[in-house]
């Protein structure tokens, strides 16, 4: 008998929206998500959506 069981991968699929940002201070472009986005390069919060 062929038993195919236990393949219970029901992971939570959250909608993760990654957006493109640009740092106004150092000009670094990066992908980020969430509400508080800081530049990974200079840690500035002065970022805008690109
Ligand atoms: Zn920066």
The pLDDT, as a whole number, for residue 3 is 65
Query: Rounded CA gap, 23 and 1, in Å?
Result: 60
40 DSSP 8-state letter: T
Name the one residue in this structure whose structure tokens are 């219970």: 8
Task: Give the start-to-end residue ranges of the domains of the chain.
Answer: 19-49
Residue 16 Cα, ligand 1 centroid: separation in angstroms? 23
What integer pLDDT is reported at residue 16 of this predicted model?
75
How far away, in angstroms, is 46 Cα from ligand 1 center? 8
End-to-end CA distance of the chain: 56
Q: How far apart are CA 10 and CA 3, in angstroms?
A: 19
As a whole number of angstroms, the distance between CA 25 and CA 42 comes to 8
* pLDDT tens-digit series, residues 8-46: 666 667 677 899 999 999 999 999 998 899 999 999 999
The DSSP 8-state label assigned to residue 16 in this structure reads -
Distance 32 CA to ligand 1 centre (A): 13
């Amino acid at each position: 008998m062929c038993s195919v069981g236990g393949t219970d991968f029901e992971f939570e699929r959250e909608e993760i929206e990654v957006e493109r940002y640009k740092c106004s201070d150092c000009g670094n472009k990066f992908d980020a998500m969430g509400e508080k986005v800081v530049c990974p390069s200079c840690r500035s919060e002065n970022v805008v959506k690109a």
